[in-house]
Amino acid sequence: MKIESYLTTDSGQNVSAAMQCVTINLLKDVLVHPGNLESGKKHLKAYCDNEQLEYNAVEHNLNLFLGLFNDYQKTKSPVLYRFLKLQARLCFVDEQLFGLLAIVPPDEDYPDGIENLNTYCKTTDSGSAYHGGMVGGHLIGL
């Protein structure tokens, strides 16, 4: 039985190659020069109007991406890197375009014992966890 997740399916929003190009160029520019964000948003708004996309949603997703990037730069956490790649999809940046952002992947060396997270989680008699790791949505501010 195949289980579909909304994270692995297409978001349903098809955008033009021009919109993808504007988004990736904006992100590349902002990752190097954070002060250019406001001027880039003006161009993005014009493209959103042309593509009939809701600008506020696009801006929100970009802000989440940039916030995750800032956190990732501080920690180089593999988990944040995965969330960064997922958030990039919501910014119209697929796997191939994500490579253009030149974001260095984290070291895949995990601390000893992190592979088995079940050892950190205690359960009650009902089987629900009352102590364990963070929820992914909490990491991205949901």
Per-residue model confidence as pLDDT tens for the chain (142 residues) = 555 444 444 444 578 888 999 999 999 999 888 888 888 888 899 999 989 999 999 999 999 999 999 999 999 999 999 999 999 999 999 988 898 898 989 876 555 434 444 444 444 444 444 444 444 555 555 5
- Distance from C-alpha of 44 to C-alpha of 55, rounded to nearest angstrom: 8
Task: Supply 54's token pair.
Answer: 């809701």
Q: So what's the pLDDT on residue 140?
A: 56
Which amino acid type is present at position 88?
A
Between the two ends of the chain, the Cα-to-Cα distance in Å is: 30
Q: Is the pTM of this model over 0.85?
A: no
pLDDT (0 to 100) of residue 16: 87
Q: What's the rounded Cα separation, in Å, for the pair 91 and 103?
A: 15
